[in-house]
A and B are shown apart, each in its own frame.
Chain A
Amino acid sequence: MNILIKNGRIIDPARDIDGTGDILIEDGKIKSVRTEEEGVKGQRENKLKIIDARGMYVIPGLVDMHAHLREPGFEYKETIKTGTMAALRGGFTTVCSMPNTDPVNDNKALTEFILRKAYTEGACCVYPIGAITKRLLGEELAEMGMMKEAGCVGFSDDGKPVMNSLIMRMALEYSKIFNAPIISHCEDLALSRGGVMNEGFLSTTLGLRGIPNAAEEIMVARDIILSKLTGGRLHIAHVSTEGSVRLIREAKARGINVTAETCPHYFSLTEDAVKGYNTNAKVNPPLRTERDVEAIKEGLKDGTIDVIATDHAPHHIDDKEREFDTASSGISGLETALSLGLRLVWEGVLGLRQLIEKMSLNPSRIMGIPKGTLSEGADADITIINPKKEFVVDSGRFLSKGRNTPFDGWQLKGLPITTISMGKVYRWE
């Protein structure tokens, strides 16, 4: 069935559109976009499914370039089916899945498995990210060429750093063949070992081992230097510190081929969330200080940080309801990311268009995928947001299997009410 979305505020940064108008969807593709200035043409509405979007934002479906869908190997935490449903609920129509599954996505057979699963059971588009090194061991390069051919769009050992600088150098060189980004989890393991939260006075008073900002920044600096050396495409994952923002800003000013992402928790929370040994606030890299949060916001504002990704890391309650030291790290992020991003808009940190760029267009461009726009002929991946809707986060209602969020009970404003994936409509109210 063809669909007409009427009278919404259409925002498509890729084509510099921001105006009230209609979008016509035919056969899962965007047929036409008309805003008032161009004059909305009369459609034969009786043959169409009409979605009234008056007062709503109508934007390109969000693209998450950093999510853990857990399948294969950890289906008790999440599956491709539940993870992609959670994505849609959160307004995401495309998800890039990280390779730290079991077995690891470090070969073409695994990539094909994920894509087949996504095709048969997934609710939204899934683009796999392959491992940089075999079994994520950081020792020898994985078969990037064959994985790329099978459908991987980038490479990462996320969850672990590539500690060996020579291997990282070669990864940045070798991936140039495929023009695929190397997504770096920056963590000096010698400095972070045993650490479970940010290092500082709070870690001292909680008696928990801390991870200094330097553990991240040293690796950000190293990878920037290696990117300069090789000309390879470097993308820094989950930036959490003031120093990292500064290093990336300087690198960009010097013309180095680097992009960066942060996650909602790094601009919404400080280490204080850990107080009381709250394992739902345990995440790697750890939540930092007010100073870091301000620097992240500044980095988002001035374009140093290109992308807001979720680092969606669903865990079973048994992995969280336990000793802080041994609890799993990560936050189930797909279903709160957009509303937390909108908070930056309400606070005046970002413009609405900027936010949409960082959650849709920019990740599409970095990953080289044909998403993030409402252009005619593009897949009908569209998110409709009610910007006035106020709600309280309730993890019990997540579609993700992972209920691990430090945002439970938060009062937020702005929520996707309808998500359209390849022309299929999901309504959330």
Chain B
Amino acid sequence: MLKSKDLLGIKELTAEEINLILDTASGFKDVLTRDIKKVPTLRGKTVVNLFFEPSTRTRTSFELAAKRLSTDVVNFSVPLSSVVKGESLKDTALTIQALGADFVVIRHSSAGVPHFLSQILKASVINAGDGTNEHPTQALLDLFTISSYKKKIEGLNVAIIGDIMHSRVARSNIYALTKLGAKVRLICPPTLLPLGINNLQVDVFDSLEDGIKGADVVMAVRIQLERQGKGFFPSLEEYFNLYGLTGERLRLAKEDAIVMHPGPINREVEIAGDVADGPQSVILEQVTNGLAIRMAVLYLLSGVKE
């Protein structure tokens, strides 16, 4: 079982808990390949998706995962809610609790919002991305995907390329991968490297060619297009020129290296289109595995025993 009622981040999990989630997800992955892809496990429970930031894949994935477990799902999208009328986050959360939510899946642009909600709500709070802090279910599905190809995590060389500073996906992956014994390399311009990241057990490269050599896994993270013109890098063209994941550069990694990306992709910015669509890419597999991971998380947090 998980120690906490909430999933706030990978930081808060032990290696055993991560493995438990991954193992549980394998079981649910089998469910998803059946003809009837639904189990009655969490019938009568209510999941509220509380998304303060735009999201397609994460919200849909949580919604579908919750439905596969037979819960009732409510999507609370901010532009239609009282938040635009000035309601505070606390009042919104308490209102949702009063409606009887068992799970609150929260995405917010401010780091720490899930932690704040977890203190005021009895419901289980699941972090679906908070500011530049964490995106734990993304890292879990990435680990699940990696281990399905590589059969292990320990000892693998995983290169993460891109805007590490603003990426909660990168942060969660760094915590998860290092907890399970992978060797993590970060590849980015120094302007996009978060301060003190070397305190985590990672190797930092500002040259993609150096960093990608011999990697088992190559993970590109998104460059948010609004970062342009803020001085982090001179132009998207220059960025692609230095840090774009091209077929030629991918050849420096191990021959059987897999290519990952949390999406949405900017083709020809952080990754060349032919690499994203190529034989080493497991990007769509990540999306599928996301369902199994989120089912596992909901199930484990529910405390329901089957």
Inter-chain contact B196/A207, CB cutoff 8 Å = no
Q: Which of A200, A207, A210, A321 contacts B90 (CB 8 A)?
A: A321
Cβ of B273 under 8 Å from chain A: no
Q: Given A208-B112, A324-B112, are A318 and B88 also a contact pair (CB < 8 Å)?
A: yes
Of chain A, the residue at the smallest CB distance from B196 is A201
Chain B residue with the shortest CB-CB distance to A326: B110
B131 contact set on A, CB distance < 8 A: 207-208, 325
Per the bound structure, the CA–CA distance linking A194 and B199 in Å amounts to 24
Interface residues on B, range: 20 to 34
Chain A residue nearest in CB terms to B90:
A321
Residue A255 lies at the interface, judged by CB distance under 8 Å to chain B: no
Contact in complex: A201, B199 (CB < 8 Å): yes
Enumerate B110-150 residues with CB–CB distance to A below 8 Å: 110-113, 115-116, 130-134
Which residues of the other chain, B, contact A392 by a CB distance below 8 angstroms?
none
Chain B residues with CB below 8 A from A201, complex form: 195-197, 199
Partner of B89 from A205, A206, A208, A323 at Cβ < 8 Å: A323
Q: Write the chain B residue with the least CB distance to A321.
A: B90
Contacts of B110 in A (CB 8 A): 323-326
Please state if A323 and B115 are interface contacts (CB–CB under 8 Å).
Answer: no
Q: B11 within 8 Å of A by Cβ?
A: yes
As a 0/1 sequence over residues 81 to 92 of chain B, the CB contacts with chain A under 8 angstroms (1 = contact) are: 000000011100
What's the minimum C-beta distance from B185 to chain A, rounded to whole angstroms? 17
- Per the bound structure, the CA–CA distance linking A318 and B87 in Å amounts to 11
Partner of B195, one of A203, A318, A324, A326: A203
- Are A322 and B133 also in contact (CB < 8 A) when A201-B199, A276-B115, A277-B111 are? no
Closest chain A CB from B49 CB (angstroms): 18
Bound CA span A205–B168, Å:
10
Within the assembled complex, what's the spacing in Å between the Cα atoms of A318 and B89? Answer: 10
Rounded to whole angstroms, the CA-CA distance of A289 and B13 in the bound complex is 26
Chain B, 6-50, contact with A by CB distance < 8 Å: what is the 0/1 string? 000001000000000000000000000000000000000000000
- Residues of A with C-beta under 8 A to B130: 207
CB contact between A277 and one of B116, B171, B196 (< 8 Å): that residue: B116
Least distance between A192 CB and chain B CB atoms (Å): 14
Interface status of B213 (Cβ within 8 A of chain A): no
Contact partner, B132, options A199, A207, A321, Cβ 8 Å: A207
Quick check: B195 and A207 within 8 Å, CB to CB? no
Residues from chain B with Cβ under 8 Å of A321 in the complex: 90
Look across to chain B and name the residue whose beta carbon is closest to the beta carbon of A325.
B110
Q: Name the A residues within 8 Å of B100 (CB-CB).
A: none
Q: How far is the CA of A324 from the CA of B131 in the complex (A)?
A: 11
Give the distance in Å from the alpha carbon of A232 to the alpha carbon of B7 in the complex. 56
List chain B residues, Cβ under 8 A from A203: 195
Q: Hey, which chain A residues are within 8 Å of B90, CB to CB? A: 321-322
Q: Is A165 an interface residue (CB 8 A)?
A: no
B93 to chain A: closest CB distance in Å? 11
Binding site for A on B (CB under 8 A): 11, 88-90, 108-113, 115-116, 130-134, 168, 171, 194-197, 199
Known contacts A204-B196, A322-B88, then 11 further A-B pairs from the complex at CB < 8 Å, ordered by chain A residue: A201-B195, A202-B196, A204-B194, A205-B11, A208-B131, A276-B115, A321-B90, A322-B116, A323-B108, A325-B109, A325-B110
Q: List 24 A-B contacts (CB under 8 A).
A: A200-B196, A201-B197, A204-B194, A204-B197, A205-B11, A206-B112, A207-B111, A207-B112, A207-B131, A207-B133, A207-B134, A207-B168, A207-B171, A277-B111, A277-B112, A277-B116, A318-B88, A321-B90, A323-B108, A324-B110, A324-B116, A325-B109, A325-B111, A326-B110
User: What are the nearest 8 A-B pairs in CB distance?
Assistant: A207-B133, A201-B196, A277-B112, A207-B111, A323-B110, A325-B110, A204-B194, A207-B132
